[in-house]
Structure 1
Amino acid sequence: MTLKGKTVLYTGAAGGLGHDTSMAMAAAGARVIAIDSDPVKAERLANSAKHAGPGSIVLEAIDLSDLKGLARRLAEIAKREGGFDIVINNAAIYPSKPFEQYTIEEHQAVQRVNVDAGIVCVQTALPDMKHKGWGRIVNISSVTFYGGWALLSPYVASKAALVGLTRAWAREFGPHGITVNAIAPGAFPTDAEKIHPDPEGYTRFVLDHQALKRRGSAADIANAILFLISDQSSFITGQTLNVDGGWVMH
């Protein structure tokens, strides 16, 4: 598999599931524009990127909640890079508390980062993808979309929205040679799990529900993304691929 000559726009690229995918895409020859505002994770990815070849990783610290600012910065980057061939909408925030305690502003804040920022990314990349007659878009959803999840209603709603956009975009962009798919990760041992008060108990819960009795790794997500952005998946679009060890089956 080669991604030589491809430019990737990747949000949340330095996080627990993003780091390994960024490195894998660079190893396949891609130029990865890694969007992440977490300075600690970004520094870790920057250090790894020194050994990323034959592709490259360029880190960009952008506040995804500032949609107008995001659009301006992406337009500048797209002009500098000659457009984007691949968009991976991965960044997400996930506050946790009872539904009645959320304000409407908090709901909107989650939607803005988890969904609306991805819309801005696709709007920026789409004209060049159409011009080339080739493009790949991958939205990172969640298995919580299927079963719901207590205390995470804004997050669950945002991940459901990404599945809907995946299907609508696939239908609309398909005539231009652009595929759009989603990945729904299961439970992975990343910083996201720190919201759980009993980590060991949560691990037991996860393994009880999965068909495969091991925890997932970032490499599992990286491999799935690499497949969906490659020419090996050129006849697959509008789909949601669960990468969850057989937790949710549909």
Structure 2
Amino acid sequence: MSTGERRVCVITGAGGRLGSAFCQAHARDYDIVAVCRTRVPAAPSQHESFIDPLDPGADVNPGRVFLVHADLEQPGQVEHVVDLVLARHGRVDLLVNNAAYSAWHPSGLVDGDAAMDDMARHFAVNVELPLRLAARFAQRFWTSRALENRAVNRNVVNVSSLAGRGVFPGGQGVYAASKAAQDHLTRHMAREFDSFGVRVNGLAPNAFPSIVPTETVVEGVVKLDMAPVTGKILTLDAERPQAGGSTAPADS
């Protein structure tokens, strides 16, 4: 059970580059439930502690994440994660939908069936999964606590990509289409979730760490958690981070 001193954060895709960096940077700031399928974040957890070989007695584990192994593409696994989070912490204040699927098709959309065969999984993981997890937390916890949600500033951050906002080379068509759909779903979620006081925003970085530092993307998640905005997509590019936002769900 959370002590209430720190916000309870659930992050999917926790073993990936962004998830691991978030856990490393903010394990002492949040009570983090790190959801991963295979890879685990490089952070202390209930299964692993770090030791300084030069000073074995030093405390190098200032915060531990609670690690949950789950394949969210499998039936019932989303609901299992929701059950575990609420049983352990009794609440959720921040949901970071970071798990994603990405397969590029450099030969093109019509050179064979590879792009078409990958489409269903792209939309299942990048569009349906963020909605399903947020909806289950809403049904199980948020919808009956509108005043509390607003007071605590609870919210959802859907991690998208700059690919969903433009046309880029390299065979990104299907992936980009799924991220564009995710962005628009984020806006619709913001409008509907506002009825029970939960904000929903998206984070759309350029490629990281090659163009945007991973640390910048991590702090983008925190920025959206602390800000009052809802229904907006925060884009992060090498030269000009942009943060459109309002205190009410937006139409566009």
TM class by smaller structure: 0.7 to 0.9
Give matches, 1:234-249, under 5 Å.
234=228, 236-246=229-239
Q: What SS does the corresponding residue of 1:44 show, helix, strand or coil?
A: coil
Give matches, 1:24-173, under 5 Å.
24-28=25-29, 30-39=30-39, 42=40, 44-46=42-44, 51=60, 53=62, 55-97=63-105, 98-100=108-110, 101-102=113-114, 104-127=116-139, 128-130=141-143, 131=145, 132-134=148-150, 135-150=154-169, 151-173=171-193
Q: What SS does the corresponding residue of 1:116 show, helix, strand or coil?
A: helix
Pair 115,218 (structure 1): closer, same or farther in 2 beyond 3 Å: same
Aligned residues: 217
Q: Indicate the residue corresponding to 2:57 in structure 1.
A: none
Pair 125,157 (structure 1): closer, same or farther in 2 beyond 3 Å: same
Q: Are 2:231 and 1:176 aligned? A: no
Which amino acid counterpart does residue 208 of structure 2 have in structure 1?
Answer: F
Which amino acid counterpart does residue 196 of structure 2 have in structure 1?
Answer: H
Asked if the contact 2:68–2:81 (Cα under 8 Å) also holds between the matched residues in 1, the reply is: no
Pair 9,18 (structure 1): closer, same or farther in 2 beyond 3 Å: same
For residues 11 and 133 of structure 1, what CA distance do their matches in structure 2 show? 21
TM-score, normalised relative to structure 2: 0.76
Q: State the identity as a percent.
A: 25
Q: What SS does the corresponding residue of 1:113 show, helix, strand or coil?
A: helix
Asked if the contact 2:206–2:237 (Cα under 8 Å) also holds between the matched residues in 1, the reply is: yes
Q: What SS does the corresponding residue of 1:157 show, helix, strand or coil?
A: helix
Q: What SS does the corresponding residue of 1:56 show, helix, strand or coil?
A: coil
Residue 119 of structure 1, CA deviation:
1.4
Residue 83 of structure 1, CA deviation:
2.9
Pair 182,105 (structure 1): closer, same or farther in 2 beyond 3 Å: same
Cα deviation code 1:51-107 (max 9, x no counterpart): 453x53111111122143322343343233213211111111211112223264421
Give matches, 1:13-24, under 5 Å.
13-24=14-25
Q: Structure 1: any 5+ residue segments left out of the alignment?
A: 190-202, 204-214
Decide which structure has the larger Cα Rg and report it: 2
Moved more, 85-94 or 130-139: 130-139
Q: Which has the higher helix share?
A: 1
Q: What SS does the corresponding residue of 1:17 show, helix, strand or coil?
A: helix
Pair 77,239 (structure 1): closer, same or farther in 2 beyond 3 Å: same
Pair 52,110 (structure 1): closer, same or farther in 2 beyond 3 Å: farther
Which amino acid counterpart does residue 86 of structure 2 have in structure 1?
Answer: A
Residue 129 of structure 1, CA deviation:
2.7
For residues 149 and 179 of structure 2, what CA distance do their matches in structure 1 show? 28
Q: Which has the higher contact order (CA 8 A, sep 6+)?
A: 1
Asked if the contact 2:44–2:64 (Cα under 8 Å) also holds between the matched residues in 1, the reply is: no
Asked if the contact 1:87–1:125 (Cα under 8 Å) also holds between the matched residues in 2, the reply is: no
Which amino acid counterpart does residue 118 of structure 1 have in structure 2?
Answer: P
Asked if the contact 2:190–2:201 (Cα under 8 Å) also holds between the matched residues in 1, the reply is: yes
Pair 26,44 (structure 1): closer, same or farther in 2 beyond 3 Å: closer
Q: What SS does the corresponding residue of 1:180 show, helix, strand or coil?
A: strand
Residue 142 of structure 1, CA deviation:
0.8
Pair 136,185 (structure 1): closer, same or farther in 2 beyond 3 Å: same
